[in-house]
Amino acid sequence: MSRLLALLLTTLALSACTGGTPSASRSPSTDPTPATPTTRASPAPVPPAAPPTAACYRLTTEQLTEPTNASAPVPCSGPHTAATIYVGRLDMVVDGHAVAVDSAVVQRQLSRTCPRRLAAYVGGSGRTRALSRFNVVWYSPTLQQSDRGADWFRCDLIAFARADTLMSLPPTPRLAGVLERPGALRAYGLCGTAAPGARGFERGVCARPHSWRAADTIAIPGGVRYPGVRVARTAGDADCRHFARSLAPRSVRFEYGWEWPTALQWARGQHFGFCWLPR
């Protein structure tokens, strides 16, 4: 019995010695503390910056019909064909709903705002502006820029030297209120190389060589629908003839030309024609 007891005590002692190390290796106090994952909110995308408010560009006629423009500005003191006259913000929420930048409702905002800004910038009456070669184009953000929060638009002043050629503009200080100055139409008015409809007729700015000039505008009655070629052709002819005669009361012979709007021009808002006279 004593030998058996001694053997049992020896076995327990050996078990205690050989089992201590594995027990220590499994102790929670010695395990490394697991890293706690942290989540950081992604920063909101920075909206693309709006274009500068007094910039100039070298646009081409092909770029005039594009809804967006990424041309780099050029010095307004050097050659340029477009000058930004206004930078504004689009209303992208209509009746509580977000609308796309290329939607009809947003495009209507542009087509109404920029012509008003042009009128305020160059001055003059509606008749004077219609007889000038000045016009306005507008550009909005791309769809990708709009998705990133861009809501700006810009209105650019342009002038046509010929039907398909833009005029090189003077420095912008000379353009503000330009149609308020006497003789402005002699430089920036609508003129032609021949009588309208005649062979060789080409529109151009009056600063270029010409033999006819658009002397007056005559409104044509009508609503949204185009009245038709026959009505438009005859609507202002008598008034134009009377206007030409009034400028040459003592002359038996006088010339004039009546140019009525096309259906496309009517749809774009030109509800008037031009009365042309020889230079």
Which is more confidently placed, 18 or 164?
Answer: 164
Q: Cα 232–234–240 angle (5° rounding)?
A: 105
Q: What is the pLDDT of residue 3?
A: 39
Confidence of residue 253 (pLDDT cuts 50, 70, 90): confident
User: Residues 191-223: pLDDT tens digits?
Assistant: 999 999 899 999 999 999 999 999 999 999 888
Q: What is the pLDDT of residue 48?
A: 87
Confidence of residue 94 (pLDDT cuts 50, 70, 90): confident
Q: What is the pLDDT of residue 95?
A: 83
d(CA 78, CA 218): 37
CA atoms within 13 A on the CB side of 210: 26
pLDDT above 50 (res 57): yes
| pLDDT cut 90: percent of the chain above it | 73
Name, of 28-32, 73-77, 90-94, the range with top average pLDDT: 73-77
| pLDDT cut 70: percent of the chain above it | 84
User: Residues 107-145: pLDDT tens digits?
Assistant: 999 999 999 999 999 999 999 999 999 999 999 999 999
Which is more confidently placed, 253 or 105?
Answer: 105
Q: What is the pLDDT of residue 18?
A: 37
pLDDT above 60 (res 31): no
Confidence of residue 32 (pLDDT cuts 50, 70, 90): low
Q: In 3-state terms, what secondary structure has residue 56?
A: strand
Q: Cα 91–93–66 angle (5° rounding)?
A: 50
d(CA 4, CA 30): 39
User: Strands, DSSP E only, in the chain?
Assistant: 56-57, 82-89, 93-94, 97-98, 134-139, 152-162, 165-166, 190-192, 203-205, 212-219, 257-259, 272-278
Q: Cα 97–102–104 angle (5° rounding)?
A: 70
Q: What is the pLDDT of residue 279?
A: 87
Confidence of residue 52 (pLDDT cuts 50, 70, 90): very high
